[in-house]
Structure 1
Amino acid sequence: MKSVFRILPAAGLALGLGLALAGLPAGAQQAAPGQPTIPGLKPASPAALAAAREILAMKNAAAMYQAAVPNIVQQTKDTLLQTNLNYQKDLNEVAVIVAQNLAGREKEIGEGMALVYANEFTEQELTALVAFYKSPLGQKLLMNEPRAIQMSMSYMNQWAQQFASIVNGEFRSEMRKRGKQI
């Protein structure tokens, strides 16, 4: 069973972005210069975006996607290698070039996340959240939440393993009632 901790950053990013975009209506409006265009989201005020960026920075959201470009380059190279084994040397060299050419593009994810936050919360709410995260309780939340999430995920893994054993026992018991040993 794969540990949740290995897939948590990528899964969190995919889930977070997927959930943010899933229920949105089609048809994007024109974004302000420098803002990403996300279908269904309205352009945000500079103040709302600034507050959203500050919240994301305090929450260290960039850690979720900092390796996005090299990871996608690697995945693409690996996919291409599956059908082009004779180009392995070239694809390895090209991967370095592509990664260098596209370095920094992961920041687009952060801008998109800020736009999502600016659409989900009013400018006043974002400002209040910034103030909260700067408060002693907010600082404690920022400091302790990653550990609390990690411990929760560890507990969930442990619970799932124990519960799977119970489910397995139930299956075996019900199959024995039918005269079948598994």
Structure 2
Amino acid sequence: MSYLSKIMAAAGLVMGLALAGAVANAQQPAPKQAAPAPTLKPASPAALAAAKEILMMKNANAMYANAVPNIVEQTKNALLQSNLNYQKDLNEVAIIVAKNLAGKEQEIGDGMAKIYANEFTEQELKDLVTFYKSPLGQKLLATEPRAIQFSMSYMNQWGQVFAQTVNEQFRVEMKKRGKEI
């Protein structure tokens, strides 16, 4: 499995967990007032096109390619918990719902493009496209996932070692108070 695939699988897992929480919350009473979605400034068609091109070059769609089937499955499983006697029907309905909603995950890509267009000017997006097409940009696209993986691994290792340092500091300070922990 390539590194990019692993990163995208991890991102998909994170997204799936977040969406699973949304499914669970859907079964809870609605909150009194939900936080409003951030307002994005209007983007030109050229800015959106450049943003979509950047996302395509970064293979961002791999993060959400399975969003619809995953959410359908999570919803079905949540419904099964309180409707075990409908297992056969819910399994059959899940297939129908997934088929009816196939392709809706593209809304995620469109939203991501709008976010990029909100964060960068049209010219900056065009410059980024040019950069990603350059040899250095191509190298970045190819090696960044591995650098991110190694960085995450380093942060995890650092955190484990640092936690031991923090634990020792607690022990020293508590010992000064005459309390062994």
Which bracket does the TM-score occupy, shorter chain normalised?
A: 0.7 to 0.9
Q: Determine the structure 1 residue equivalent to 2:110.
A: 111
Q: Deviations over 1:25-82 (max 9, x none)?
A: x6xxxxxxxxxxx752233222111111111101111111112112211221222122
Distance (whole Å) between structure 1 residues aligned to residue 166 and residue 11 of structure 2: 25
* Amino acid paired to 1:62: N
Distance (whole Å) between structure 2 residues aligned to residue 39 and residue 169 of structure 1: 43
Q: Determine the structure 1 residue equivalent to 2:56.
A: 57
* Amino acid paired to 1:169: E
Aligned in 2, Cα 1:119/1:90: closer, same or farther, shift over 3 Å? same
In structure 2, stretches of 5+ residues that fail to align are: 1-6, 19-35
Q: Determine the structure 2 residue equivalent to 1:126.
A: 125
* Amino acid paired to 1:54: E
**Corresponding residue SS for 1:111:** helix
Shift of 1:12: 7.0
Q: Which of structures 1 and 2 has the larger relative contact order (alpha carbons within 8 angstroms, sep 6+)?
A: 2
Distance (whole Å) between structure 1 residues aligned to residue 169 and residue 91 of structure 2: 50
Shift of 1:85: 2.0
**Corresponding residue SS for 2:110:** helix
Q: Determine the structure 1 residue equivalent to 2:77.
A: 78
Q: Determine the structure 1 residue equivalent to 2:137.
A: 138
Q: Which one is further off, 119-128 or 54-63?
A: 119-128
**Sequence identity of aligned pairs in percent?**
72
In structure 1, stretches of 5+ residues that fail to align are: 15-25, 27-37
Q: Determine the structure 2 residue equivalent to 1:98.
A: 97
CA RMSD, Structure 1 to Structure 2 (Å): 2.6
Please tell me whether the aligned partners of residues 53 and 114 of structure 1 are also in contact (alpha carbons under 8 angstroms): yes
Aligned in 2, Cα 1:82/1:63: closer, same or farther, shift over 3 Å? same
Report the TM-score when normalising by structure 2: 0.74
Please tell me whether the aligned partners of residues 41 and 119 of structure 1 are also in contact (alpha carbons under 8 angstroms): yes
